[in-house]
Structures are given as structure tokens and as C-alpha cells.
Structure 1
Amino acid sequence: MFLRQLALRDFRSWRELDIALAPGCTVFVGRNGQGKTNVLEAVRYLSILGSHRASTDQSLVRQGTSEAHISGIAVNAGRELAIDIGVRPGKTNKAWINRSPARRPSEALGIVHTVMFAPEDLAIVKGDPAERRRYLDELMVALRPRYSVVRSEYDKVVRQRSALLKSISHTMRARKVDDSAAITLETWDKHLARAGAEYLQERFRMVQRLDPFFTLSYAGIAPDSRPARMQYRCSLANVPEDPAMITTDLLEKLFLEQLPAMRVKEIERGVCLVGPHRDDLELMLGDQPVKGFASHGESWSTALALRLASRALLRDEGWEPILLLDDVFAELDRKRREALVAIALDSEQVLITAAVREDVPEALSGRLVGVQAKLSDLADSLGQRVSEIVRPPSNAEGEGA
């Protein structure tokens, strides 16, 4: 799979950009603040309908405008498919597939597959459980787009049930009695159990499939280190260790058994304390968790291994993802750099950003796209002929490379 065309309008720093792409390696070179990362972020957005560095869409829209547009033409096994996304903060986003409007944006999921490695990935390893859950969910949706609907439904149930718990907590503090609220809570327990069971089962399946790829990827990056593995930490009690025994019916039953036992604590805190939104993906080196025990180098290796494992899993499913490398080579030592180069050379399309051309290994020298305000500055930084110049608007903002 590769993108042969990418167009942006009012996305981040770009008022307008229309660039032809090709298989192989394309290197976007330019000083910080010129819009390099924004280009890769847009490609990633086409893939997962989300940003790798922003929790909401508001920051993706160029200042002074109300919406942004990302368009791409994907080529997969010789078949072309056009995808257009309208990013509209505060409203429902829009999507078009081959110029025809989609009923919902999620219909565009699965058209473009990407694997992105960026400096922010260190947060997956060192950050809060939400970062690791996000990593799992993005990969889950990439493989099975319908789970974006499952996840959305679950999130909606959690919000509604949490609001009810807060209302009951307030009522109890006011020494009032509301029997109808208790009955309604039991109804929401059933909704949470049903939605959570399907969501949770897919998480277990994902970890089971991903774990061996993660172990192999880490061993390839750090062969002298301790073996790496992952395990899913579930807030739901009594889940069988044997994955073959985990079914949606069993998980729903366990939810309905545990929720009443958590009732007092949940009302006191006004939040749902059981479910996939409370879980964690524990990353291990030997017998120790990576978070809190690994060195900085081991943490970087773990982050890279997670992305390489994602790519291996996608390829095992028959997809050839576009590899996005955002300003990462300067942060990598020789072994990790060599491992990433080997993967990149085996990819159909690789898009790379770098502040200076020298940061990119010579083995990946491909088409150069200069992202720079002045040609003279670009020539100074590259010291060689540039194949194409892309000029962002002079009031560029929002780039974080």
C-alpha cells in the first residue's frame, strides 16, 4: 500500500498543500516549525481518524478557520481509492470515499494503514495506562474497523453511567431517597456489561496475537537484553488465564457479578471502576515491568518494538502499512537505527521527517522534499540538490517536530 497523492487545506500550519507521493522513501527535511510533522500527522489521521499528538481535533484546524480537510489517494494492489476527511471540531466530522459521502466517518477506517514511530511514543512506555490503552485500541481498530463503533458505544455507556453515579452520590449526601435511580443504575449495569464484554474480549485477543511479535521485535533490537513480553491487566476479577476460555458471555456474567460488589465505592467516587477504561497493558522485561525499572535505552527499545510489532501484525493480516518516521533517527543509537532501517527498506512506502538530512541514514536516501521558507536556507542545510520545494504559509503554527 502507498499514497500517491496527499492534499491538505487549513490543516495545522498548512493553508494548502498538494503533493504527489510515490513508493519507496520520501524524506521531508526542514527546520523545526516549518510543517514537516504536520504532513505525517495528516497521513496518520487518514489511517486512524485521530492524531498521535493531540487528544482533540481543535488544534488540527489552522488558526482563523473552522475546519480542515485531508485528502489522499491510496493504492493497494493496483487498486486506487480516494479518501477525504473533513475535520470539524465541535461537530461531526465528514468523510468521502471515491468522492461519495460516507454515512459516518468510521466507514473510512481500513482504507489507509500506517505504522508511525515518533518521539511521543516514549509516553506509551513511561506514561499513564491511558497511553497504552490508546496504543491497543488504535491497532485494534486498524485491524477490525467495526470496533470503532464498539468502542464509541462503550464510551457512551460509561459517560451515562458515571453521570448517574454522580447524581446518586449527590442525592445521598443530601440525605434524600431516590429508588428510581437505583433501578436505573441496574439497567445501566446491563448496558455496561454487554458493551464492555465485547470490547474487552477483543482487547484480550489483540494482546494474545501481538505478544509474540513484540517479543521477537524487542529481541531483534536488543538481542543481549532480557526477553520482553506483554500481559493485559484487567480490572474485572476472575477472568480465566486461558484465552480460549474467555468469551463475551463469560465476561458479561463477570461484569454483572462484580458491579454490585463495587456499588458503594462507585457511588462514593461517582465513576465507573470496572471495565476496559480502567485496564492496563503491562510491558515486561524479564520479571520486571518496563515502567519504573527499565533504563532510558530499554524504554526506547520497548517503544520501538511496540511499533515494529504493530507492523508485523498488520503484515500477518495481509496489509502492507505505510511507515511514518517522525524525526526519530537522531534519538536512536546504532543498533536501534539499524533495526529501523531494515524495516524501512522492506516497506513499500516510507515517509520520514528530519531537521537535517544527515540525521537520516544513507541507506534511506530517497526523494527529498524540502519544507523550508527559503530556498537558500534549505540549500545550506542539505548541501545538495533538492528535488522539490514545498513552501508552507509564512504564519506557520502548530508544528511540533
Structure 2
Amino acid sequence: MRVTHLSLGDFRNYGAAELPLAVGPNLLIGRNGQGKTNLVEAIAYFATLRSHRVTGDAALIRSGHESAVARMRVRAGEREVLLDLQINQGRANKAQVNRNSVRPRELTRWFSAVAFAPEDLIIVRGEPSGRRRFLDDALLARHPIASGALTDYERVVRQRTSLLKSARARGSAALSTLSVWDDQLVEYGVQIMLARRELVRDLSGPLQDRYRSLVGSDHSPALSMSESVADAIDAAHVSRETFDTHAAASVSRETLATQFRKALSAVQSREFERGVTLVGPHRDDLLLSLNHLPVKGYASHGESWSFALSLKLALAELLRSESTAGDPVIILDDVFAELDASRRASLMAAVSDYEQVIVTAAVEGDVPNDVEWNRMRISAGTVTPMTGASDESADTSERAE
């Protein structure tokens, strides 16, 4: 799979932009603040329907405008598809596939990408919400149909939490419909939990392989889940040391649903007191370890970078092994500047056989020079192909977008 062309209108700093892309490695080069990251942000948005930089869509729309438009041609084998997206201020977004109107979430069925940016360090160093976001974006990439369960689950949590808050003010009589929301919370929550368990299980092997190839040694990187359902039931408590990813992924839906209901019963009084839904996938965490120690708080800066990169590369490998549409597009946004020469070479070697790789850099000297790049110069929101010898005139003092 590859992107052949991206068109933007009123997206971020672009009034209009046309970006042709080639098979193989593509390099977007330019000083900071010129719009490199905005281009790859638009491409990655088609895969997840959200930005890797901000939580809402408003920042994607050019200042003073009501909407932004992104149009992308994608080729998978001999088939080409045109994807259109209109991001609107204060109203629902709109989407098209080959000029036919569809729900925006349908776009994720047609395009797959794995992006890595400095912001992704939040996966290993940040709060659980960042790791949950990684899990859910990975689920969408692996099973686009999961968007329905994720959306429905978020809706149920909002409604159920609103009911709990109302009950604090009006008394327990307001909880007469709580069982209805409990049923839906369990239904959608179990789907998400099982899909996450399978994902963690299937990423574990590729993560170890990618980390070893990137770093040159085996530091035993590992993944497991910390689940609020299990934590709410003493008899079924799952700790970091005892969680078996293979066994957890094979638990039946019925068994997990029963555990979920027991957990809801166990925390019922606390939920009523606090007006908060206390158990479910929205309270879970992905546990990351290196040499049997938590990455957060123990790993060095370099180890944290390597772990986060390896996790994204593991996801790309998993998607590639399962897809009939070809490789996911690999996006590396301002990554090479943070790596030493050895890890730059290892990273490029790890992605070199993907059908398309898109790299951004402020300084061309930061990327491997033994690669036949399709180069684009980005300057003040203008995209210019670079057909001559490599141009290293970018200000070397400015490396971050």
C-alpha cells in the first residue's frame, strides 16, 4: 500500500498544497515551523481519524476558516482509491470514497499507516491514557470494524457516568435504569478487552525481534495488561508478575463478562459515592517492561526511545503479516535526529523493505545518506520537489518542528 498523492485545503498552515509521493523512501526536508509535520499528520489522520499531536480536530483547520479538506490517492496492488475528508468546525466531519459519501470511519478500511513521532514517547513515559490510545489506534488499524465498539463504549461510559452523578444529587431512585447501561458497558467492554488481549499477545514476539534488531542486544522487552475488572475482584487479581498474555487472550467472552459483572458489583457503592464509572477498558493500562523492570521510571532516554520505536515497528510487522492490501505506510516524523548513527542505520534497515516510507527531517544530514530518497523541500507551506543533488541548506540549528 502506498500514497500516490495528497491534496490539502485550509489544513493547518496550508491554504492549498499538493504532495506527490513515490514508492519507497520519501524525505520531506525543511526548517522547523514550515509544515513538514502537518503533511504527515494529514496522511496519518486517514488511518485513525485523529491527530497524533492534538486531542481534537479544531487545530487542524486553518485559522479563520470553517473547515479543512484532505484528499488522498492510495494504491494497493493494481487498485487505486480516492479518499476525501472534510473536517468541520462545530459539526460532523464528512467523507467520501471514490466520490461516494461514506461515514468517516469507513476511511480506515481503505488505508493503513504506522506513524512514529517524538510525541509517541508518551506511550512509555506518560500516563495510562496515552497507552490506551496506542492500543485503540492499533485495534483500529488491525480491525477497522472495532471503531463501532470503541465509539459505543465511550458513549455508554458517558451516559452511565452522567447517571451516577445524577444519583448523587437525586438519590438512589435515579439508578433505576443503571442495569441497562451495565449490560451495554459489559457487552462493548468485553469486546474491547478481548481484542486488546489478543493484540498484546500478538505484539509480544515482534516487539522482542524489533528491539533486538534496533539496539543490537536482547533486553527482554515485554508487554502485559493491568485491568480494572481484575483489580476489582481480589480472587481474580492480575498483577504484573502473573498476567499470562496467552492465557488471558484465550478466555471466553462469557467468562470475562461474568468477571466484569462481579467487578461492577464490587465497586457499586464506591461508584455511587464518587459518581464515576470505575471499571472497564477506559481504566486499564498497558504495562511495558525492560529486563523485568517497568520502562517508565527505570529506562534511560535512549532505551525509552528504542522501546517506543520497537513497539511501533512491531505493530507495522503485525499489520503487514495480516493484511491482504499490502504493507502499511511507514511514517517517521522527525525521528532520526534523536538517534545516533548506529540506530539510524538500524532503523532504516528495519523499514527499508516496506512499500512506502515517509520521513521528515529539519536537517538532511540527520538521515542515512545511502538511501535513494524521493526528496521534497517544504518551506513556508510550499512543497517543492528536489531533483538535484542533496540540499543541506536547512538551518542546522533548527531541528524540531
SS state at 2:229 partner: coil
TM-score, normalized by length of structure 2?
0.90
- The answer for the alignment partner of 2:377 in structure 1 is 370
CA displacement 1:123-179 (0-9 Å, x = unmatched): 1110011111111111111111010011000000000001111111223xxxxx442
Mean CA deviation greater in 125-134 or 236-245: 236-245
CA distance change for structure 1 residues 208 and 94 in 2, over 3 Å: closer, same or farther?
same
Q: Which position in structure 2 is the counterpart of 1:206?
A: 199
Instruction: Check the 8 A contact 1:110/1:143 in 2, yes or no.
Output: no
TM, length-normalised to structure 1? 0.90
- Mapped partners of 2:270, 2:195: distance in 1: 27
SS state at 2:297 partner: coil
Residue in 2 aligned with 1:14?
A: 14
Residue 397 of structure 2: aligned partner: none
How many angstroms does 1:274 deviate by? 0.3
1:249 maps to 254
How many residues of Structure 1 are paired with residues of Structure 2 in the alignment? 378
Partner amino acid for 1:221? L
- Tell me how far apart the structure 1 counterparts of residues 390 and 90 of structure 2 sit (CA, whole Å): 40
Moved more, 278-287 or 260-269: 260-269
CA distance in structure 2 between the partners assigned to 1:330 and 1:383 by the alignment: 23
Q: Which residue of 1 aligns with 2:129?
A: 130
The answer to whether residue 333 in structure 2 is matched with residue 326 in structure 1 is: yes
Alignment partner of 1:281 out of 286, 292, 298: 286
2:118 matched residue in structure 1:
119
Counterpart CA distance in 2 for 1:92 and 1:248 is: 34
Specify the code of the residue in structure 2 equivalent to 1:105. Answer: P
TM-fit CA distance, 1:359? 1.2
Q: Which residue of 2 aligns with 1:220?
A: 213
Distance 2:92 2:78 in 1: 32
1:232 aligns with 2:232: no
Q: 1:202 to 1:373 in 2, by over 3 A?
A: closer
Partner of 1:158: 157
Aligned to 1:55: 55
Paired residue secondary structure (2:181): helix
User: Does structure 1 conserve the Cα–Cα contact (< 8 Å) formed by 2:27 and 2:360?
Assistant: yes
Query: 1:233 touches 1:279 (CA, 8 Å); kept in 2?
Result: yes
Change beyond 3 A, Cα 1:374–1:216:
closer
| Runs ≥4 residues deviating over 3 A | 382-387
Unaligned ranges ≥5, structure 2: 231-235, 392-399
Contact 2:329 2:357 (8 Å CA) reproduced:
yes
SS at match of 1:231: strand
2:271 is the counterpart of 1:266 = yes
Equivalent residue, structure 2, for 1:393:
none
SS of residue matched to 1:65: coil
1:301 is matched with 306
Report if aligned partners of 2:28, 2:361 keep a CA contact under 8 Å in 1: yes
- Which letter does structure 2 place at the counterpart of 1:93? N
Letter matched to residue 379 of structure 2:
Q
Deviates more, 1:154-163 or 1:314-323: 314-323
Which letter does structure 1 place at the counterpart of 2:318?
Answer: L
CA shift, 1:290, in A, is: 0.4
Paired letter, 2:227: C
SS in 1 for 2:209: helix
Shift of 1:89: 3.3
Query: Residue 396 of structure 1 corresponds to which residue in structure 2?
Result: none
Contact 2:164 2:175 in 1 (8 A): no
User: How far apart are the structure 2 equivalents of 1:334 and 1:31?
Assistant: 21
CA distance 1:149–1:222, change in 2 (3 Å): same
Deviation of 1:57 after TM superposition, in Å, equals: 0.2
How far the C-alpha of 1:224 sits from its partner, in A, is 3.0
- Secondary structure, counterpart of 1:63 in structure 2: coil
Offset, 1:40: 0.4
2:125 is matched by which residue type in structure 1? Answer: K
Q: Is this contact kept in 2: 1:235–1:274, CA < 8 A?
A: yes
Q: Distance in 2 between matches of 1:32 and 1:269?
A: 46
Quote the residue 2:39 is aligned against. Answer: 39
Letter in 1 for 2:344: R
1:188 partnered with 2:195: no
Partners of 1:92 and 1:48 in 2: CA distance: 16
Q: Which segment drifts farther, 41-50 or 19-28?
A: 19-28
Q: Would the aligned equivalents of 2:221 and 2:289 in 1 still touch at CA under 8 Å?
A: yes
Letter in 1 for 2:187: R
Q: CA deviation at 1:264?
A: 1.4
Contact 2:13 2:381 in 1 (8 A): no
Distance 1:309 1:58, change over 3 A: same
Asked whether the equivalents of residues 70 and 86 of structure 1 are also in contact (C-alpha less than 8 Å), the reply is yes
1:83-94 pair list within 5 angstroms: 83-94=83-94
Letter in 1 for 2:199: M
Residue 385 of structure 1, CA deviation: 4.5
Aligned-residue offset at 1:186? 2.2
Percentage of matched positions with identical amino acids: 40
- The answer as to whether partners of 1:82 and 1:99 remain within 8 angstroms in 2 is yes
Q: Which residue of 2 aligns with 1:169?
A: 168
1:148 — aligned with what? 147
